[in-house]
Chains A and B, each alone.
Chain A
Amino acid sequence: MNLLSPAFRPQNVIELNGVTKRYGRQLALNNVTISIGTGVSGLLGPNGSGKSTLIKSLLGLVKIQSGSATVLGLSLPQQVQVIRDCVGYLPEDDCFIAGLTGIESVQFMARLSGISSIEALRRSHEVMDYAEFGQERYRHVETYSTGMRQKLKFAQAIVHDPQLLILDEPTSGLDPEQRASMLRKIRNLAENHGKSILICTHILHDVRTVCDQVIIMARGAIRLSDSLENLSRPTNGGMFVRVGNQRPTTATEQFPDAGRLVERLRQVSIAAELRGNGVVWVPALGDGSRKAIWEAAAISGVFIEGLDGARNSLEEVFFEAVKEAAHGSA
């Protein structure tokens, strides 16, 4: 079996089992056990949650103290050199080799990956075209803007056509247009070229746009790992009612129509709540819930614009998980 062959695709690209890493007395990774499958996975977490340590552990840049890990079916740390050959890494930090031009930088990374000099140059031009570099590829990297350096790191990460891409904040420093373009490229690499991609980011919108799986870390531990589809599925958490023709009046009595609806629902013993922007949340009442809402709206003279089942938002899931972690450690 050729581990470097593109045909070799393990079911789980990353598997960690009880991985622990300490920096002195500080626990950076606390018994982390997780399986990350193919496709695009988003690694979320607040600052200091252990995301960067996890990524560095996967690349063998920091040594784990206990537990076991495999990347692309290769075990860490025994096969770390082979792993690095199959992985493309885009670091969060601004990093470059001073004195080289853009194309030389990408060629240099290709050569570090074992590609011969001329082929490395050809391939570098190819990936720089893909990363939307024009003639600026012949400029020294020191003169690049933050966005260009980000694109350069992306080109360096994919130049050796790795099976797994680890992208640490890939859209940071990019303008909205470039950001959308970067996300399209990431999606394209996963969907059309079979790349497995792990994105580490703070930007929930990016995760929603490109990820199949979401992993949330806090305080060095995995708090949640599920598919984006599951996390966005309707919950049994009631309904959201959007009230139409709303006009906020005063600071104390905003959204009077929504307020009237809440009042009427409470009169019939339904514990409705007024949420932001005049949206009313109604708890799950079984089959009769919709009828009760329409009746209350008719009696109070309120126009209902929309009625949706309550869904998890990624933000809510993220903040809940982080809050749980904070309470758990307190």
Chain B
Amino acid sequence: MALHEVGYRKWSGAKASISSRWMVIALTGVRLAFRSTWLSRTLVLSWTPALLVGFWFFLYEQSIIRDELRRVISGIVAVATSDADLARRVFSNPAAERHNVWSSLLLAFFRYPQGVMMLIVVGIVAPRLISSDLRNRGYLLYFSRPIQLVGYLFGKLLVVWTFLAMITTVPALALYVVGVFLSPDFGVVWDTWDLPIRVVVASLVLMFPTAAVALACSAFTSESRYAVFSWFAIWIVGWVSYSVLRAGEMAGRGRPAIQERMSQRPGIMRMAESSDWEIISPFHVLGRVQQYVFGLYPADKQIWPYALMLAVVSLASLCFVASRVRKRLRA
């Protein structure tokens, strides 16, 4: 027996409110995830694109007062957004396109580098969240304390949301602030005041469905490696299926003239290239809704099929997770 062993002692003290206990699940989940060195490296890596986009913001703001930079920035806009029209307009009058350029660059930031980083980070964090509890019967520990199923799910979702916010919301808001400070004109705040709100909403659009689907993959099996596989498979299969069907659709229409192909370069954000098959690719569906959030979605097109798709997938995923956990509790 240890010298300091004093036997059992009663405990009395103030307890936190029952309604806030889910926070412990979230904090523990985040702390456990941070023990992965791969995750730390990926998080550092995920901030590097923000440096590049920050530099683009700087170039764009400088191009308003320095004409020699117009060609450079219009080239960057063309490459980053695949929008030749916007690039042309920026070349002729950059100051008039400030909101569009900022929105497009932020959307490009969300879609391309952070889209890939989201896939990797969630692929590292989420698969173990539920599957590990199912394998090791951790749910018996959670639910023997004042935790409800909703609180459990919310705590787990919060873990994924935390990391998604770290690679999307936080760097995008930082980018905005950096862009404002690097601008020679304080009118930039007036022109772009709504963008931080749009960044937050676009992040939420990304976070809710992806976290829900990731938890569904995790709840699908008690083996986290299968959960990792299913997470990546959903995105890759969706993308490949869309690409194949889209190619078939293009082939059916016949080969467009070279000039037409040049004017309609394949670009994910161009509605001119949109296809009904996008609905089967999670990446494209997310892209469309984020495009809408940033105000870049054509007014003549309907967004509700994409928004509905995201809502249905999120809800179905959460219901699936809840049913899996409830089933285990009853066993």
Chain A residues at the B interface, C-beta cutoff of 8 Å? 4, 6, 23, 56, 59, 61-62, 81-82, 84-85, 87, 89, 91, 93-100, 108-109, 111-116, 119, 123, 126-127, 129-130, 132, 134, 156, 158, 160-161, 185, 188-189, 192-193
Contacts and interface: CB of A to CB of B under 8 A. Distances in A.
B4 A129 contact: yes
B32 A85 contact: no
Interface stretch (B14-22, B158-166, B281-289): B14-22
B156 interface: no
Given A6-B12, A98-B136, A23 B145 contact: no
A99 B5 contact: no
A1 B160 CA distance: 41
Given A85-B145, A119-B13, A95 B140 contact: yes
Contacts of B2: 129, 134
21 contacts: A61-B140, A61-B143, A61-B329, A61-B330, A62-B329, A84-B143, A84-B145, A91-B137, A96-B137, A96-B138, A98-B136, A108-B28, A112-B24, A112-B145, A114-B15, A116-B13, A116-B14, A130-B7, A134-B2, A156-B141, A158-B8
B10 A193 contact: yes
Contacts of B12: 6, 161
Given A95-B137, A108-B28, A193-B10, A115 B146 contact: no
Interface residues of B, number: 42
B253 to A, nearest CB: 52
Interface in B111-155: 128, 132-133, 135-148
Given A97-B28, A108-B28, A119-B13, A85 B146 contact: yes
Contact of A188 (B8, B18, B21, B329): B8
A161 B13 CA distance: 10
B11 interface: yes
B5 A84 contact: no
B46 to A, nearest CB: 23
B41 interface: no
Contacts of B135: 98
A130 B11 CA distance: 14
Contact of A95 (B1, B11, B136): B136
Contacts of B299: none
B10 A97 contact: no
B24 A160 contact: no
Contacts of A114: 15-18, 21, 146
B292 to A, nearest CB: 39
B330 A95 contact: no
A91 B5 contact: no
B15 A113 contact: yes
Nearest to B137: A95
A116 B13 CA distance: 9
Contacts of B13: 115-116, 119
Given A115-B15, A126-B9, 12 more contacts: A6-B10, A81-B18, A87-B144, A94-B137, A95-B139, A99-B128, A109-B145, A112-B145, A112-B147, A116-B13, A130-B5, A158-B8
A93 B143 CA distance: 14
Contact of B148 (A81, A93, A95, A113): A81
Given A93-B137, A98-B138, A112 B21 contact: yes
Given A62-B330, A81-B18, A129 B145 contact: no
Contacts of A132: 1
A100 B32 contact: yes
A85 B21 CA distance: 11
A328 B315 CA distance: 48
Contacts of A82: 18, 146
B6 A59 contact: no
A243 B2 CA distance: 49
Given A119-B13, A129-B5, A112 B142 contact: yes
B35 interface: yes
Nearest to A90: B144
A264 B16 CA distance: 75
A264 to B, nearest CB: 57
Contacts of A98: 128, 132, 135-136, 138
A158 B144 CA distance: 12
Contact of A161 (B6, B11, B21): B11
Contacts of B136: 94-98
Given A85-B18, A85-B145, A112-B147, A193 B8 contact: yes
Interface string B298-331: 0000000000000000000000000000000110
B138 A23 contact: no
A87 B11 CA distance: 14
A95 B147 contact: no
Nearest to B146: A81
A45 to B, nearest CB: 18
A113 B142 CA distance: 10
A245 B16 CA distance: 69
A97 B133 contact: yes
Given A61-B143, A97-B136, A98-B132, A116 B11 contact: no
B7 A84 contact: no
